[in-house]
A and B are shown apart, each in its own frame.
Chain A
């Protein structure tokens, strides 16, 4: 039963062939299996964030005024800027996937670089948002709680304002972690792509990490209005 199938790349030079794993009959079967497995993985990501969204909704029902007050202290303009960054990065990622399917190696690497840069922009904005909160005496995950100035006025008199900020930091923190993982994965694609690993005969890693990136984007599209706009 053992055999080795080799997927030969397109004639354009500089690509490396792909060997189909021993237990698959064809490259098509391997491709289908990897893709289905990855979709299932993305389902688990959605369920994981689903728990956090459920916690958000639950406590929003408990303390609507606290969520309103807390949310009003988040800058929707920065959130909107980040939404733009991620949406654009999804577009550049999709272009990268397209180029890998067409064996356009150099263009693919350029599109992937753009994706990393936009993701980096997202993280920089997030950094400024977080440090702004620290600056005003709102530290996540600590017992330190002394909102200053304007923050103190807005949060005075509402029940458990810390809870809102801890949920905000947990949700955006875990999402930010996913953005970082995505940046590393895309960096790996740039490295391997530069070696000519991905071409019309074998582009599944680019395809799958692209899917992951769109899900990270999609989760942000839900986080942004819930945290910045709904309150």
Chain B
């Protein structure tokens, strides 16, 4: 007998040609030194979930603090309250939302979706995970030692005077920034150079287009955050004067720099979520996405416009009237590509063969909340209205509608959608559906009162408030606890599924993109044979009406 049998004649492992990526090597070291995009994705998933839990605990603590209007009968001192909301913001923004979808979902799914054996730069991929880890450790170190009370925005001149751990937290943000740059750079190269044979730009699944747009932002905007934080550190240690009015500097320049990064950054956060929703609504209503090219180009349009709108964070900071009007106009423009996306998703679902699976329920929750978040964004973009609403709970509620209610929920939609592919196991669908509904309810109870309070003038970041808002604040606190319960349930059944979940089908949802055409869970290098891209979102002729 010859020893050189062709691959397909090699005895199979549980009906597979090769062992899957989870079992191909074993041991702690095989994970922490892995170059496999799927394992790095899972390490990210684990890490960002921990960061989400830490940030979530801060959120529930600060909501509990606001149960009573104060100053008597509150849980924390005002100083501690300042630290709580700062740490909640810093953890959620830098350690969770920015890396969450690119680091975990896109790392896992992007190479599968374009039929590649790995990302283009696997070592850089692992490096960016460790940079994220190091930065998050620095943030945690700051939280444990001196805390941080500057708000996640580090505005000068307070961040220069604050006695809290501004330097270590700033260094953490700097390091996480590099992690984000490397991730974005890696995905851009992967999409440019690693697509499967037969996959042109317009045969790429829409998740890839969304990641493309957010990666461009990561690469272009994050270096500016890097130099801003570096200058802030120089200012803090050496008093070089660039941001300190006493030395001739201008704190408004810090705001320009910060928002030049941080406005594109909110699209770094939301665009990948939009990409997930595109895949989920198509797969679970079994219809090709309506308006493929419009969806693709609207991602790019959002990315381009997002560089020209940062001034809308600074309507009350002192800008020329012309600048404010221009920023207001440009900000409203973002609504156009965003609305195109909403209509395309709804039109995709319309007439589809809708399966109310857990990922689909999360996607529907996204569509509902994102409509609220998007429309209130138009209010805030409008110059005259924003002067009234600036720095109120209206802004807080808007921001959470697009970040927590949209990005985080899209992230969970993605986790539920690709979970069977990741682990070869299925979670309890009934519990998953209940959790989705609890989270949607929790969101509404938490944030709808905040919109109302904000429009009445309740300022954000205040440790105490006047009696008139007691009811709103208490409702909001109850909502936060409902959200916490929903997330706890989710973590519970997901972990349970790893031990006792039923074995997932090779193609759990009947998906038609390339990620469902490799073994479940995938091989170390993903596909058995080199995949060739066919027609995108081809659900077959039986589904035409």
Contacts and interface: CB of A to CB of B under 8 A. Distances in A.
Interface string A88-116: 00000000000000000000000000000
B249 interface: yes
B41 to A, nearest CB: 15
Given A23-B117, A33-B193, A163-B249, A40 B238 contact: no
Contact of A48 (B223, B247, B253, B256): B223
Nearest to A55: B242
Contact of B185 (A21, A41, A141): A41
Nearest to A44: B223
Contacts of B228: 51
Given A33-B189, A141-B240, A62 B250 contact: yes
A25 to B, nearest CB: 8
Contacts of A160: 241, 247-248
Interface SS of B by simple majority: helix
Interface residues of B, number: 48
B476 interface: no
Interface stretch (B155-163, B361-369, B383-391, B521-529): B521-529
B154 to A, nearest CB: 15
Contacts of B122: 21, 23
A141 B238 contact: yes
Contacts of B250: 58-59, 62
Interface residues of A, number: 38
B204 interface: no
Interface string A9-36: 0000000000001110000010011001
B223 A23 contact: no
Given A33-B194, A160-B241, A162-B247, A1 B189 contact: no
A32 B221 CA distance: 24
A62 B120 contact: no
A159 interface: yes
Contacts of B527: 1
Contacts of A62: 248, 250
A44 B242 contact: no
B185 A37 contact: yes
Interface string A171-194: 000000000000000000000000
B409 to A, nearest CB: 31
B201 to A, nearest CB: 15
A142 B238 CA distance: 6
B183 to A, nearest CB: 12
A132 interface: no
Given A159-B248, A170-B231, A1 B223 contact: no
B400 interface: no
B219 A1 contact: no
Contacts of B226: 48
B224 A48 contact: yes
A45 interface: yes
Contacts of A55: 231, 242, 253, 257
A72 interface: no
Interface string B22-36: 000000000000000
A43 interface: yes
Given A32-B193, A143-B239, 4 more contacts: A1-B523, A37-B121, A45-B223, A141-B240
Interface of A: 1-2, 21-23, 29, 32-33, 36-37, 40-41, 43-45, 47-52, 54-55, 58-59, 62-63, 140-143, 159-160, 162-163, 166-167, 170
14 contacts: A2-B525, A23-B122, A23-B525, A29-B193, A32-B193, A37-B186, A44-B181, A44-B185, A54-B256, A58-B250, A143-B239, A160-B248, A162-B248, A163-B247
